[in-house]
Amino acid sequence: MTDQTIILLAQLLEPRLSDAALDFWQKSQREIAAGAEHSRFSALISMASRHAKRVPLTLSEPELAACKNAAPDWAPQHWNLLELLRVALICARNDLTEPSFTESFESLFVYADEGETCALYRALALLPAAERFVWRAGEGCRSNMVSVFSAMALDNPYPVKHFDATGWNQLVIKALFLELPLHRVIGLDERRSAELTRIALDLADERASAGRVISHDLWLCLESSHAERSRALAECLWPTADASSRSAIVLGLARAEQYTAVQQLAETESDIQVAHAIDAALGGQLNQTQFAHLVTDNSESEL
């Protein structure tokens, strides 16, 4: 957490608040910065809901760029206004690196409602010495509430930096299970592994046995190990796959370094969209953001 981040939070927040909410924020910020008691701090976090609603932030491009600049990979485009206010209030504390804050912050989770819980998990990306909260972050991923899980798993730079292999693989596979957009799991490109590939391919087998659809996003998980299984899965799905699915398969195989397989599939491809995807993949455009345009998930804007 730098002063720059605090200033940026205020800059994002203030133009979006009503006059009354602005007054609440400024007074509360001063009170918290002056060292308010835990009970008061906790009450202010709760009462924030009286002043800001769960409306989308709709950040501008320059604002998003400023966020990425302030904290690596910080991408709050799906936060709502109430979450931003709460995170700003948390960041207003003067003891963020101290045990007193650790205790106070952990205590907030015990009494938090759903909206507060999401905001607390989102705050992790901005807190100093954030490794203190790695267990708590794992609890967020164990949540059955999709909103809470998403706050931890999507657009959040915390997991890729702090989770061990088990926690990371669980997060990715759970996001797949919940049919969340995997391209928004920050750092997936770098943290693919042989184990994650195996788990994803096992999941594909399981879904095939159950007669269920295998989501596009599964292809994002694969890297070069278990190449035969990846190719076999592609060959099995290809004949009945629609254009989007074929694009996903091609991108997945290319990410798994199965270029020959991609070239073979290209020979029979007549769809212009898939042909573009093949050219792009063979041309090295392989990162997870390439997947975004393949995804047609209507729920995405709500998460």
Partner 1 sequence: MKFFDPHIHMVSRTTDDYQNMAAAGIRAVIEPAFWLGQPRTNVGSFVDYFSSLVGWERFRASQFGIAHYCAIGINSKEANNEGLAREVLEILPNFALKEGVVAIGEIGYDEITPAEEFIYQAQLKFAVEHDMVVMVHSPHRDKKNGVIRSIDVALEMGVPPHKLVIDHNNEETVQSVLDAGAWAAFTIYPNTKMGSERMTEIVRQYGPERIIVDSSADWGVSDPLSVPKTAHLMKERGIDPAAIELTCWGNALAAYAQSGQIDVEALMQDAVIDQSQSYSDNSVLRGQQPRVDEPVKN
* Min separation Cβ 297 and partner 1, Å: 18
Q: Nearest approach, Cβ of 299 to partner 1 (angstroms)?
A: 16
Tokens of 61: 């491009």
* Gap between the Cα atoms of 212 and 207, Å rounded: 5
- 139 near partner 1, rule: CB under 8 A: yes
Give DSSP secondary structure letters for the chain: --HHHHHHHHHHHGGGS-HHHHHHHHHHHHHHHTT--HHHHHHHHHHGGGT--S-B----HHHHHHHHHHSTT--GGG-BHHHHHHHHHHHT-S-TTSHHHHHHHHHHHHH--HHHHHHHHHHGGG-TTGGGGHHHHHHHHH-S-HHHHHHHHSS-SHHHHH--HHHHHHHHHHHHHTT--GGGSTTTTTT--HHHHHHHHHHHHHHHHTT-PPPGGGGGG--SSSHHHHHHHHHHHGGG--HHHHHHHHHHHHHTT-HHHHHHHHHT---HHHHHHHHHHHTT--SGGGGGGG---GGGGG-
Q: Is 299 in the site for partner 1 (CB under 8 A)?
A: no
In the block, which residue shows the tokens 């976090």? Answer: 45
Q: Rounded to the nearest whole angstrom, what is the least distance from the CB of residue 222 to partner 1 in the complex? A: 15
247 contacts partner 1 (rule: CB under 8 A): no
Can you tell me which of 142, 232, 263, 289 binds partner 1, judged by CB under 8 A? 142
Tell which positions 170-199 bind partner 1, by CB under 8 A: 170, 173-174, 177, 199
> Residue 160 CB, nearest distance to partner 1 (Å)?
17
| Region of 152-160, 205-213, 219-227, 237-245 interacting with partner 1 (CB under 8 A) | 205-213
Applying CB under 8 A, which part among 8-16, 87-95, 208-216, 236-244 lies near partner 1?
208-216
Among 210, 239, 267, 298, binds partner 1 (CB under 8 A): 210
Q: Is 146 in the site for partner 1 (CB under 8 A)?
A: no
Scanning 7-15, 23-31, 142-150, 185-193 for contacts with partner 1 by CB under 8 A, the matching segment is: 142-150
> How many amino acids of this chain bind partner 1 (CB under 8 A)?
23
Q: Looking at 6-14, 89-97, 200-208, 270-278, which segment touches partner 1 (CB under 8 A)?
A: 200-208
Question: Which residues within the stretch 262-281 sit at the binding site for partner 1 (CB under 8 A)?
Answer: none
Contact 140, 121 (CB under 8 A): yes
Please pick, from the candidates 10, 203, 227, 241, the single residue that binds partner 1 as defined by CB under 8 A. Answer: 203
What's the gap between Cα 237 and its chain centre? 28
113 lines the binding site for partner 1 (CB under 8 A): no
Which tokens is 18 given?
């009503």
- Nearer to partner 1 by Cβ, of 34 and 110: the residue is 110
User: Among residue numbers 119 through 138, which ones bind partner 1 (CB under 8 A)?
Assistant: 135, 138
**Considering only 36-44, 80-88, 118-126, 139-147, which stretch makes contact with partner 1 by CB under 8 A?**
139-147
Residues that bind partner 1 (CB under 8 A): 110, 135, 138-139, 142-145, 166-167, 169-170, 173-174, 177, 199, 202-203, 205-206, 209-211
